[in-house]
Chains A and B, each alone.
Chain A
């Protein structure tokens, strides 16, 4: 069934399945109609319809109720076992009690054991957590999880990857690497996340190479998982000089997503890139780039850009980097800006620079331009009322 879900025929099958079931249903109606004795065929088949429909609903709802009843009871039993395991786990982790009981539970009830083990990792810290982590290989359940990683059920594969990534074992990471070829996109994505976080330098490089091709949502998650490493430094140094815009954009997104200052060499030529999106993202990321070039001269290039969105981001960078030397340029731009968003960014930058810049901003509160005046008043009010509000 799961293989069908990933096959290329699935979209067609998904469309045909409801129709096929409906055809079967109609066949059942015709069949039941043959056995009814009403003279009027219209009434006969209508009644047959009602009979088939009622029986189907009766069987389905009956089945569901029984299934739910059994499910609830089984869940209660599982919970009871999990509670017992959790009790022993606490003793083992905090009071250093023997692990024999836990190993027995792991053999008999692997699902419940793994649930408790996973929960313990999120609640425990320090040496207690380390003890619990080291327990899993002794239960041999890591091998059981490795089998799930490459199994056909994507839900279990994702779950297994998320547990194995905690172990940081070479074997587990190799299996996780195999999951990069899994037919389910969610599994491939989870494997990427795990390798980015805990993989070897080679495995991380593999993930970096995949970065520009990954969908945006996967990149968002992946960026948060990547650990600082020599592989990352190498990747960033190369990507900012790449001629491929998707590679450059992915690297800029990475910097934006990390919200930490990143050493990136000399990416100054991105400030004059012919690609608008690259320029916008570059100036948005500028406060986070530890560049060899002077940020003030880069920001000045941005403030002179032809597109207001680039200018707005450059102004924002001026505020965040406290580039007071650009006060006059910012004020000049504020007086001619026609876009409310750009005006807002320039005004907020001037407000956050304080001192002379704030005084320059105040003069715009009496501007003849309605929009400039209104935006300035808003920014000044926010700066006065809320600490850090100018941002």
Chain B
């Protein structure tokens, strides 16, 4: 019995080590693909005249910005001001107050001189009842929907019902869009108007940056290590994978914090699903499925230049809730669309991106977590020698360092948003340190999300905000 147990433990440990190397290899290819694409974008610089002129053109497609807000009194006014100051010829900002328990609505009414509007809209998508729609008496394109609490997806569906423009941009009410973010995000719709269904922008960490009048005026790194690690994580998530997946038209996620969609496509797929916490990923998967079923030649694109700045949690408790929720969303979405797995009908999505997400994003934390447990148990009970344990630790750490430092390298070679040498040094150090504990903690939390899914846990959990510039 002991012999079988030993053999099984050794086999599993060896398999986990192989798994870590395999994921390193795949990530490397993705990063290189992303690098080639990003470098090409750097060479294909745009004439600044294009942005200046587009800003004034009445031919630009108008955009409805949807910003769901739940207990966002700390930052909502600043975020709305920033949205209203966006450089774009024609847009409306629709803030959806999703039954906030704090004074989010009252603050908005007072700050922007809102009145109860008789605005007409269709109930095309199901959503919780709307109590009232407000518009500003000032000449600003602001609409506020006050509705019963139903979650983020439900709020976005309400916003879609009320929106009047052909493009809709989903943003988080606690995020700050850069002035030219919309102009840049809309470009793929202008270049390829018949094929593009959705465009995702990059989300960057605002902690540590100087924010004034709803604008990030100076880019800097946060002072807390937890937030710094997340800067590296965000770079990894956006620059590492999404650029490459976008190049092969198999982008799986457009962040809920900043995504631009064709409204007709969103309505055609039935809007956002309310039974998942991974509504952003689920929507993109459904768009892929719908477009393929229609036999449409389509594109879902990631653009690294339009930037949305967001505040990340600096307390471990909040971070834990957020990460468990993200992982739950991934599991729920991949399970809901399991028919795409290795299905050639879905092209590169079914044959490459979906399996990658299942093997490495969904099961990755579970495999790594069991690897840690087995290593500790194996060394403790003498199942295998120190050499195997050391190899596992080396594989795990070097995998993490490759992921993190690789994304910092990508950032510096291409977009260069952090101007100081000190920043780059800190990012590299964060990339190393992140793999020595922080990533392992995240792995344990993410593995724990499986338990939540099996127990049928729903809901978002509270997010604590400090507010921008604090």
Contacts and interface: CB of A to CB of B under 8 A. Distances in A.
Interface string A8-28: 000000110111011001000
A211 interface: no
Nearest to B35: A18
Contacts of A221: 47, 49-50, 53-54, 57
Interface string A37-70: 0001011001101100110010011001100110
A374 interface: yes
B117 interface: yes
A14 to B, nearest CB: 5
Given A371-B120, A374-B118, A378-B119, A68 B401 contact: no
Contact of A189 (B29, B47, B60, B406): B47
Contacts of A189: 47, 50
Interface string A324-362: 000000000000000010001000000000000000000
Contacts of B415: none
B58 A259 contact: yes
A224 B50 CA distance: 10
A64 B409 contact: yes
Contacts of B247: 14
A385 B32 CA distance: 57
Contact of A19 (B29, B48, B59, B122): B29
Contacts of B425: 65
A374 B120 contact: yes
Interface in B378-407: 387-388, 391, 394-395, 398, 401-402, 405-406
Nearest to B50: A221
A158 B118 contact: no
A158 B59 contact: no
A315 to B, nearest CB: 16
A230 interface: no
Contacts of A68: 412, 421, 424
Residue of A21, A68, A186 ringed by the most chain B CB atoms within 10 A: A68
B469 interface: no
B45 A154 contact: yes
B122 to A, nearest CB: 7
Contacts of A17: 32, 36
Interface stretch (A105-113, A135-143, A212-220): A212-220
Interface stretch (B171-179, B186-194, B336-344): B186-194
A88 interface: no
A57 to B, nearest CB: 5
Contact of B137 (A53, A223, A259, A385): A385
A215 B191 contact: yes
B48 A50 contact: no
B56 interface: yes
Contacts of A186: 44-47
Contact of A220 (B35, B139, B190, B413): B190
Q: Which applies to chain A's interface (DSSP): helix, strand, loop or mixed? A: helix
A189 to B, nearest CB: 7
A72 B424 CA distance: 12
Contacts of A216: 59, 190-191, 193
Nearest to B411: A64
A192 B281 CA distance: 40
Residue of B32, B57, B424 ringed by the most chain A CB atoms within 10 A: B57
Given A65-B424, A155-B43, A223 B408 contact: no
A101 B62 CA distance: 50
Interface residues on A, range: 35 or more
Interface string B404-433: 011011001100000111001100100000
Nearest to A370: B120
B347 interface: no
Interface string A214-239: 01110111011100000000000000
B14 interface: yes
B41 to A, nearest CB: 11
A147 interface: no
Interface residues of B, number: 62
Interface string B119-158: 1101000000000000101010000000000000000000
A163 to B, nearest CB: 12
B122 A340 contact: yes
A50 B394 contact: yes
A158 B421 CA distance: 29
A53 B191 CA distance: 39
A375 interface: yes
A374 B122 CA distance: 11
Nearest to A40: B387
B32 A5 contact: no
Interface stretch (B20-28, B91-99, B445-453): B20-28
A298 B14 CA distance: 79
A375 B49 CA distance: 40
Nearest to B20: A46
Given A2-B43, A68-B424, A377 B118 contact: yes
Residue of A69, A161, A184, A257 ringed by the most chain B CB atoms within 10 A: A257
Contact of B190 (A61, A158, A217): A217
Contact of B391 (A43, A217, A223, A386): A43
Contact of B409 (A53, A61, A215): A61
A47 B391 contact: yes
27 contacts: A18-B33, A25-B28, A43-B391, A49-B21, A53-B398, A54-B398, A60-B409, A61-B428, A65-B425, A68-B424, A69-B421, A154-B43, A186-B46, A189-B50, A215-B191, A216-B193, A220-B54, A220-B59, A220-B60, A221-B54, A225-B53, A256-B58, A257-B58, A340-B122, A377-B118, A377-B120, A385-B115
Interface of B: 14, 17, 21, 24-25, 28-29, 32-33, 35-37, 40, 43-50, 53-54, 56-60, 115, 117-120, 122, 135, 137, 139, 187, 190-191, 193, 247, 387-388, 391, 394-395, 398, 401-402, 405-406, 408-409, 412-413, 419-421, 424-425, 428
